Every structure is written in C-alpha cells, then in structure tokens.
Amino acid sequence: MSTLKTVLGSAVLVGLLSSAAFAQAINDRYGFGTKVDPAELSGFFAIPPDGRGLPPGSGTGTQGAKVFAENCAACHGDKLEGNPAKGIGGDKLIGGRGSLATKTPVKTVESYWPYATTLFDYVKRAMPFSAPGSLKNDEVYAVVAYILSEGKIIKPTDTVNAETLPKIAMPNKDGFVPDPRPELQLYH
Ligand code: HEC
C-alpha cells in the first residue's frame, strides 16, 4: 500500500512540476541520485527523419570509400555485398531495389530504408560493430555518403551534411504506412 501511495504521489508530482523540478523533488525526498552531467547525456541521441540534431561536419562518397575499407569492409564485404559468416557477419548494404514485394525480398539500406538520416544515426551509434562510437562525425558523414552513392542514390561527389542528408529521397520512402497509434508518435 505504501508503494502504491508513493507511485500515486509521484504521478501527482509529475503532473505539477517540470521534469527538472520533479527530479530535484525526488532527490530531496529520498536523498539519493545525482544531477546528470550534460556531457554524459550527449552520448544519448536519436536523429529523426527531418535530421534534427545532426552534428556539424560533412563528407562525400569519394572520401567515404577509405573509411569503409578500413572500418566496415571486413564485415560488410568490399562491395557492400554482406558477409554470411556467423557471429560478426555484416548485412548486405546495397542492392535489392524493387525486390521487396517479390517472393525473394532483399532488404538493404538501398532497397528498404525510408530515411537517409537513419543511416547517420545508426552508423554513428552502432557501427563499427566492434567499436561503436569510434568514428568522427566527418567520417560518419563520408561513409554514409559512400553507402548512398554505391547504392546509386546520390553521386560520389555529392556532399552529405546536416542540410543535405534530410533532403535525400530514399528509393523506398513511400513504401511505409504511417502507424496512427498515438503512443508511437514520437516526434510530434
Ligand atoms: C565487426 C563486424 C562489423 C563491422 C566492422 C561493421 N559492421 Fe555494420 N553490421 C554488423 C552486424 C553484425 C550488423 C547487424 C547488427 C544487428 O542486426 O543488430 C551490422 C549492421 C549494419 C547496418 C544495418 C544494415 C541493415 O540493413 O539493417 C549498417 C547500415 C551498417 N552495419 C553499417 C556499417 C558501417 C558503415 C560500418 C563501418 C563504419 C560497419 N557497419 C562496420 C557488423 C559489422
């Protein structure tokens, strides 16, 4: 019962106070927790389709070829064809365009992903699989440009940055149906 009261009390507090004031109130009340350092929080990010939050920096596909060869090809193949090896084998990254509605769909960045910005988000956060977060922003932009240019979505000389990336139209951008459930409307 006391747990229930605490939960209800917290819910009322959430309704009344801003999140910072709420955190402070919880700290004062229970005597634990520390303020989160903004530097710590900077490791947590999500880049939505419109590119909000993309960092400064830029790169071209031509520059990205080297980044890919050094950091990605071992798992994703020299020609982005993927590697079937168990464990570290990386996915095929290009090809399969137009195959999704067939009996043998090939899902890749080129054929499936609706937003180019997701590629920046994912690579910066999760790749290389063996050392996530190790690439500089310029390297991420360049390797993103390389994957998109190998997939013939942009030219190898096109510059990818915070302004241009959200404007790139992915081949399967119209292949998704919006999910109307309100709890999934994350970016409104
Ligand atoms: C050590 C092996 C390894 C390295 C190195 C690596 N990857 Fe990956 N990559 C993977 C694996 C494994 C997955 C699948 C992860 C999963 O499904 O959770 C993956 C998934 C991906 C995907 C998502 C593909 C899809 O269609 O879902 C992209 C894009 C990607 N990697 C890009 C890169 C880039 C760019 C680099 C270099 C900067 C890189 N990877 C380096 C192993 C690797």
pLDDT attached to residue 15: 52
pLDDT over 80 (residue 9): no
Q: Average the pLDDT over 29-46 and give the result.
A: 82
Nearest to 48 by CA among 114, 147, 95, 3: 114
pLDDT over 90 (residue 16): no
pLDDT attached to residue 13: 47
Which residue from 118, 119, 129 has its CB within 8 A of the most atoms of ligand 1, so it is best to mutate?
129
Nearest to 167 by CA among 182, 154, 183, 157: 154
Determine the distance separating the centroid of ligand 1 and the alpha carbon of 91, expressed in angstroms: 6
pLDDT tens for each residue of 111-130 = 999 999 999 999 999 999 99
Position with higher pLDDT, 184 vs 132: 132
Per-chain mean pLDDT for the chain: 88
pLDDT attached to residue 27: 72
Atom of ligand 1 nearest to the CA of 68: 37
pLDDT attached to residue 2: 47
C-alpha–C-alpha distance, residues 108 and 113, integer Å:
7
pLDDT tens for each residue of 50-107 = 999 999 999 999 999 999 999 999 999 999 999 987 777 899 999 999 999 999 999 9
Determine the distance separating the centroid of ligand 1 and the alpha carbon of 104, expressed in angstroms: 22
